[in-house]
Structure 1
Amino acid sequence: MEKYEELLLALRKVIRATDLHSKQLHKLTGLTAPQLLILREVAAAPTGITASAVAQNITLSPATVSNVIDRLEQRELLHRERSTQDRRRVVLSLTARGVERMKAAPRPLQDNFINKFQALADWEQSQLLSSMQRIAAMMDAERLDAAEVLEVGTYEQQQFSQND
């Protein structure tokens, strides 16, 4: 097998593992990975957080985060509230239903990855990072909107789960 074939096979395995975890997450919680990530960000801010701060923290575009927040609000998992100090500021917080959903949610796939990655020597971490950045560049993927949560699937699957 050629080296490029081995590399592509390894990439497909990563995509498959991510896809399987995403499906398991949706089956167990009814949430997509981005929805769970946003709920985690909101839960981590006990006094509330703005949508723009969430977008910045999870490195997704504000428009994407806003759309996901709309769906989470419709499902009564979080709510928006205007700040009493600054009426221009809208703060997000979890509803009781959102808190319960978070308690039942499994750990994200990347938690296991992070633990294993951080156990590597610094030089090996740097080598892996550099290699993945190079692969992303070779795939013209540097400017794609991406979050730290690993999720894949077809466009139709993502649109279907986002509309739930």
Structure 2
Amino acid sequence: MARHEDVLISLRQIIRATDLYSRKLSKVSGLTSPQLLIMQAIGAKGEITMGDLANEVSLSQATVTTILDRLEKRHLIERKRGESDKRRVYATLTPDGSGIIEQAPTPLQEEFIDRFDRLEDWEQSLILSSLQRVAAMMNAEEIDASPMLDLGAIDRAQPAVELSQRTSSREQ
């Protein structure tokens, strides 16, 4: 087998692992990875403003607001105006939201980070430079991406399972 085929297989394995995790997360918790990440950030802070939350999860404030709209409709979070400054809006978890994040699987990127941090410094640098080169070879260096392993649009409404099924049916 040619080396380029081995590289393409490895890329496909990474994409597939991300897809399988997204399906598991959706099945277990009914959440997408970005939704879980946002809920975990809210849970860690207790209450947090939209701007601080956007910075915490490395997403735009508009994207965070869209995700929060969906979570609020499901009664997983609530938004409250600040007591002293009514212009500030804080997000907090509802009891249902707290219950869901307690049962949700660990985010895939947390497992990756844990294993990556255990590598030697030179190994981390090698992986980073190799992946940056692959991204450049795929003309992807200008694509906006957050440090979260997930498939599909960050602010999508449908669970990852539905997105995967639509993609599979198009490929057939």
Using the TM superposition, give the Cα deviation of residue 117 of structure 1 relative to its aligned residue in structure 2, in angstroms.
Answer: 1.0
Using the TM superposition, give the Cα deviation of residue 13 of structure 1 relative to its aligned residue in structure 2, in angstroms.
Answer: 0.4
Q: Deviations over 1:117-159 (max 9, x none)?
A: 1111001101111111222222232333323321115x6xx55
Structure 2: any 5+ residue segments left out of the alignment? Answer: 161-172
Query: What CA RMSD, in Å, does the superposition of the two structures yield over aligned residues?
Result: 1.7
Work out the CA distance in 1 between the residues paired with 2:26 and 2:19: 11
Work out the CA distance in 1 between the residues paired with 2:144 and 2:86: 30
Q: TM-score, normalised by structure 1?
A: 0.88
**Number of the residue aligned with 1:138:** 137
Work out the CA distance in 2 between the residues paired with 1:12 and 1:4: 12
- Aligned-residue identity in percent: 47
Work out the CA distance in 1 between the residues paired with 2:51 and 2:142: 19
Aligned residue-pair number: 158
Matching residue's letter, 2:159: S
Using the TM superposition, give the Cα deviation of residue 44 of structure 1 relative to its aligned residue in structure 2, in angstroms.
Answer: 1.0
**Number of the residue aligned with 1:160:** 158
**Number of the residue aligned with 2:106:** 107
Q: Deviations over 1:55-82 (max 9, x none)?
A: 2222222222111110000000001111
Using the TM superposition, give the Cα deviation of residue 22 of structure 1 relative to its aligned residue in structure 2, in angstroms.
Answer: 0.6
Q: TM-score, normalised by structure 2?
A: 0.84
**Number of the residue aligned with 1:23:** 23
**Number of the residue aligned with 1:122:** 121
Q: Deviations over 1:92-126 (max 9, x none)?
A: 11011111111111111122212221111001101
Matching residue's letter, 1:25: L
Work out the CA distance in 2 between the residues paired with 1:39 and 1:147: 16
Q: Is the 8 A contact 2:18 2:149 kept in 1?
A: yes
Matching residue's letter, 1:143: E
Structure 1: any 5+ residue segments left out of the alignment? Answer: none
